[in-house]
């Protein structure tokens, strides 16, 4: 059972649903496994908790 983890900004439930469907379907096709085998975990991360280079994402 593949596990796909997505770290990203806050999203609506509708956005999360679309994202999960797209990742699951694509991974299923590429891996040759049933879509029901895919596990997708979404972790919402605030921009102040992410550093890119020497700056916080929220300050870019």
User: Are 32 and 9 a contacting pair, CB within 8 Å?
Assistant: no
3-state class (DSSP) for residue 55: strand
CA distances from 60 to 18, 49, 51 (A): 27, 13, 10
User: Are 5 and 38 a contacting pair, CB within 8 Å?
Assistant: no
> In terms of residue numbers, what domain contains 29?
3-59
Q: CATH no. for residue 52? A: 3.30.429.10
**To the nearest whole number, what is the mean pLDDT of the chain?**
96
Locate all alpha helices (DSSP H) within 1-60, ordered by sequence.
13-31
Number of domains in the chain: 1
Q: What is the pLDDT of residue 39?
A: 98
pLDDT tens for each residue of 4-57: 999 999 999 999 999 999 999 999 999 999 999 999 999 999 989 999 999 999
Q: What is the pLDDT of residue 8?
A: 94
């Amino acid at each position: 059972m593949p596990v796909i983890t997505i770290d990203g900004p806050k999203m609506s439930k509708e956005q999360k649903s679309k994202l999960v469907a797209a990742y699951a379907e694509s991974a299923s096709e590429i891996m040759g496994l049933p879509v029901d085998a895919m596990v997708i975990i979404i972790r919402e991360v605030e921009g102040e908790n992410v550093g890119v280079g020497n700056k916080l994402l929220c300050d870019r």
